[in-house]
Amino acid sequence: MEITELDNYYFRQKEPFQGCLLALKSIITEINEDIIHTRKFQIPFFYYKDWKLAFLWVYRKKIMIGTVIDKRANQIISEIKQKDIVETMLINPDEDIPVYEIIKRIKENIKFYDSLILTALNNEK
């Protein structure tokens, strides 16, 4: 098995960051089978059905998890060109991960994207 640059991102981190990042990756990817884990801007990034969803980033002595509302979704709603909307949460790798809060945020974004997809499909009819 070949080690990718994405894998290297995790392997380069020292503990407790590595373990925390791998746990966060697992938490996010297990929320929905349509979540894709990739590398963007040199960091782990997650997409849901081609929509930006979340990212992980080592920031100072904490881990930042960002949940994203893709700017394309904002354009559909308001027809105004906007930037991605990002909510961030800092996680101390030496403390418990707020699993339920992370899952809640990710599921809210997925629900939002699914509602946009349904609306678009209904408008095509």
Q: Which residue has the higher pLDDT, 80 or 99?
A: 99
Mean pLDDT of 38-63: 94
Task: Report whether 57 contacts 63 (CB < 8 A).
Answer: yes
Tell me what pLDDT residue 124 has: 58
Domains and CATH numbers, the chain: 5-124 (3.90.1150.200)
Q: Which residue has the higher pLDDT, 54 or 81?
A: 54
Q: What is the 3-state secondary structure (H, E, C) of 15-79?
A: CCHHHHHHHHHHHHHCCCCCEEEEEECCEEEEEECCEEEEEEEEECCEEEEEEEECHHHHHHHHC
Alpha carbons 82 and 87: distance in angstroms, whole number: 15
